[in-house]
A and B are shown apart, each in its own frame.
Chain A
Amino acid sequence: MLTARGSDQRSDIRPVQSRARLLGAWWGPALGLSALGLITSVEAERTATREIFFNVAQPWAVYVFTASLVGLLIYGFGRHATLWAIGQPTPNLRDEVSQRLRNAVRLGLAQEKIGRDRYAAVMHWCIFSSIVVLTFVTAQVAIDDDFSLHFLRGPYYLFFSFYGDLFGLVGLVGVGMALYRRYIDNLHRIHWDERLEDHLIIWGLGLILLTGFAVESLRITVDELVQHPDWARWSFVSFGVAHFLALFEFEEPQLLSAHVWMWWGHLVLAMGWLGLIVFTKLDHMFFAPINAFLLRTDSPGRLTKIENIEEREVFGVGQIQDFTWKQLFELDACVSCGRCTAVCPANIAGQPLSPMHLIQDLKLHLADVGPAIQHAGHEGHDVRAVSPLAMVGEVIKDETLWACRTCGACVQECPVLIEHVPTIVDMRRYLVMDEARVPATAQAALENLEQRGHPWRGATLTRTSWMEGLGEVPIFDGSQEYLYWVGCAGSLVERNLPVTQSVFRLLREAGASFGVLGQEETCSGDPARRLGNEYLYQILAGQLVETFKAKNVQRVITNCPHCFNTFKNEYPQFGGRFEVLHHTEFLAKSLQQGDLKPQYPIAEQVTYHDSCYLGRMNGVYEAPRQIIEFLPGAKVTEMQRSMSRGLCCGAGGGNMWLEEVGARRVNHVRAEEAMQTGAQSVISNCPFCIQMFEDGIPAVQPQEEGRMRVFDVAELLDRAVFGTDGAGRGSQSS
């Protein structure tokens, strides 16, 4: 039975509600306290108020500063916008506007992604809410005075004093947490791209809050503390400080001149800090919600289709202006937080890829060559001749692009909703189709796909080899409900044959109406698309959609999460709409309906590895786990990285056919993680993951004795249903 599953992973399943609650919980007490303040303050002096520009002679300066700030912001963003405009049109932006608005609120304003790091979530909310509330506080002061509205009086003034102080304090807590993280705790990822701005922003904010309190306290020391201590109490922080200051018995002129200095200091700091928005990553306060609006609304497992590929002059992205403007906009939204790089399997294994640096390098390149490209476009010159550097090859190295597993871990974590995978694959497309610069092993796989319809060079099995000893295997003829799609790995790679056979036996046992294509199967094209050969993919996918239609295929069960993903999310781009199930989904359902009865014990400690294309890309986390729950006696220990945080096995994104460069191999890292659970076997759902573990485990555990074993979920279920000696497995028909 399923046991040691941490609450952490549980909350992963329903991230939306629980995170929202966590963050919502924060506003609750704050607003509650404020409301309490409001009610009680009604009873207080109705005349309570203060002189707005108390003691300060040149309040006009505020307006000069504000006007220049607004001017600066407009100029700064205008300049950015001219750079984004060199990009290509962004498709589908007008679709699903309501979903986009929801994303902007949920992911942009409510900052749901930040919640994946709890400390950061609290810290960021403290800072964010205090900036929002204190800006609002300052605005009220200005309006009160300028429009002579004088609403800052009576109970509301007291309430206003209260929440102003409260959120000042909250802001200080946030700043304190940030300082702790940066200088004391030394969290690795935030130092990977550390710049002067990181220090300026946080120290600046701290100083603004402190000078704010200082101004307030000095004013209270001079006037309210003497005249209206019952009003002053509402500014509870400054009230306390004022009491402390009073102990020193400063002369009033001393206090007043200190107040003026502090006031100016506060103003200059605040305006200067806000000006940083234009020059630093503080711009994310606008860009992140906008980028959340621009975020794709379809599956992250889908890559864009290059329409009318035969008429293109450039295939994929070779120069910065080949990106869509959304992809360029995204670059400016990056805050160098390092979350993406911290979870990147290639980076973890010491391979030459860091998604954060990739985004930052592109951003820098855009700033470098963007203006000249924009100018050249304007003058009608050749924009492709502008950049002195080849973006693909020099700014971003070939090996960086090849190291990506398209695992989506970076996209999953990015708090400002950057989509690295399409950006990386777009550059790969250029590498493969325009430049034909392909590592030899990947080239062999692609040529094999072209010539033989499968990526496995040197395969000695045929597409029917797995059928041996299974009795009659029904061939799909349109009369059955499901097509069981075995896939190239499931039929041509020795290790995966038992998995295919297990799934087949279980489908038959469950009484499913299904058939297979046998010799007629070809490749789904997925490896070609991930490796960047979109042209080849379109040919393979187009042919297969036709085959499926001709055979009247409506529902497909796949062995392989990669076929599953491309059938489900990408074939609709070619007019192929089928119901697609991964075998674990079908088998979980069969178990629940009682069509399969596991009876033989699998007394084993197991751990479960989420494949990226079933898990992160398609959200199927539960079905395989449910199957394991049905295995009599099996005990699951989850790995530290699991579910949406699962680490790729190393084979994704065509890396099955690439030589790894770097300190370690990803499958060794993941094999170690699996072994750390102490489980006897690791279970997965993907032929690639299984091959990677079969390779990786012996490498990190050379001793054969007690070595961890690797199974597909279906193989274990097969054992539980039919027994190890295969008693019940024999063919039912012959």
Chain B
Amino acid sequence: MHLVVCAKQIPDPETPPSAFKIDTVANAVVPVPGISPVLSPFDAQAAEAALRIKEKVGESKVTVISLGKESAQAAIKQVLAMGADEGVLLNDDAFEGGDSYTTAHALAAAIKKLGDVDAVICGRQAADWDMGQVGLGIAEELGWPGAIVAKDVQAADGALLVQRVLLDGFETVRMPLPAVITVSNELGDPRYPKLQQIMQAAKKTVTTWTAADLGLDAASVGKAGSRLRLERLAQPEAGGAVQIIEGDTPEAQAQALAQALRDARII
């Protein structure tokens, strides 16, 4: 079985709030010096899901694809170290400034170029913009069935059994192949790579494809192809204040607290 994992490199979600800055003129996040971008955590889970299937199903292969700049090599290497076999980086200036749609378009083109893919596994959303669109976008582009927010994915003779997280429980769906699945954090912790694999991954070369390699028209990707227009980017104001609730008895204090919460329309 040939599985593709889509992985995105994002600004570190653990950047300390005091260091996180936005350039309101350029409408962009200012990279924090000394804080390197990381692999989106949901995508690490996507890799974990793919590797679990690979371990069970003989003769499987996992390819990781990332759309990003040269630095995204690190994210690809991380998935390779976890046990993926090959890595592809979609790197082209033309890809810059795109939205979920253009990203899905480019990734789908790359998957088509790979040819023999049985399933694509993505994280439920990238942990920077939290859109959660790319997975189903790829399914749409490829015309494959898609299932989102999976907590478990199992191979079952020529199909995938996908357990999906719902608001009030789970549902298990049987996906004919080829298919696209996005996984959620309920899947469990991604594995810690073995050193042997880290060193093998370091030696592997990552294939780089440009828009031209994928036969994509530069106008259909990146900023040019983008259907989403960013109006304004702003940082929420964070602040705090303390109000001491007075009262002679615990009951009186509780009453005063309840009143204060009601006045603030919290309860």
Contact = CB atoms under 8 A, between A and B. Distances in A.
Contacts of A435: 194
Contact of B195 (A448, A452, A535): A535
A465 B192 contact: no
A519 B34 contact: yes
A1 interface: no
Nearest to A313: B196
Given A434-B194, A435-B194, A310 B199 contact: yes
Say what secondary structure dominates the interface of chain A.
Answer: helix
B17 A460 contact: yes
B196 A451 contact: no
Given A438-B192, A446-B192, A452 B12 contact: yes
B117 interface: no
B252 to A, nearest CB: 22
B189 A458 contact: no
A436 interface: yes
Contact of A451 (B18, B38, B199): B38
B35 interface: yes
Contacts of A448: 14
Interface string B189-230: 101111110110000000000000000000000000000000
A315 interface: yes
B16 A459 contact: yes
B115 interface: no
Contacts of B195: 315, 433-434, 436, 535
Nearest to A522: B34
Nearest to A312: B195
Interface residues of A, number: 25
Contact of A462 (B19, B36, B192, B199): B19
A16 interface: no
A451 B14 CA distance: 10
Given A310-B199, A535-B198, A458 B192 contact: no
Nearest to B189: A440
Interface in A315-373: 315
A520 B191 CA distance: 30
Contacts of B34: 519-520
Count class of interface residues, chain B: 20 to 34
Say what secondary structure dominates the interface of chain B.
Answer: loop
A451 B12 contact: yes
Interface in A298-318: 310, 315
Interface string A438-477: 1010010011100110000111111001000000000000
Contacts of A519: 33-34
Contacts of A457: 14
Given A519-B33, A519-B34, A436 B16 contact: no
A369 to B, nearest CB: 24
Contacts of B33: 519
Contacts of A315: 195
Contacts of B194: 433-436
Contacts of A438: 192
A451 B37 CA distance: 8
Contact of A458 (B14, B193, B196): B14
Contacts of B189: 440, 443
- Which 3 residue pairs are nearest across A and B when measured between Cβ atoms? A433-B195, A436-B194, A436-B192
Given A434-B196, A436-B192, A451-B12, 12 more contacts: A310-B199, A433-B194, A433-B195, A434-B195, A443-B192, A452-B14, A452-B36, A458-B14, A460-B16, A460-B17, A519-B33, A519-B34
12 contacts: A434-B194, A434-B196, A436-B192, A436-B193, A436-B194, A438-B192, A443-B189, A451-B36, A451-B38, A452-B14, A461-B16, A519-B34
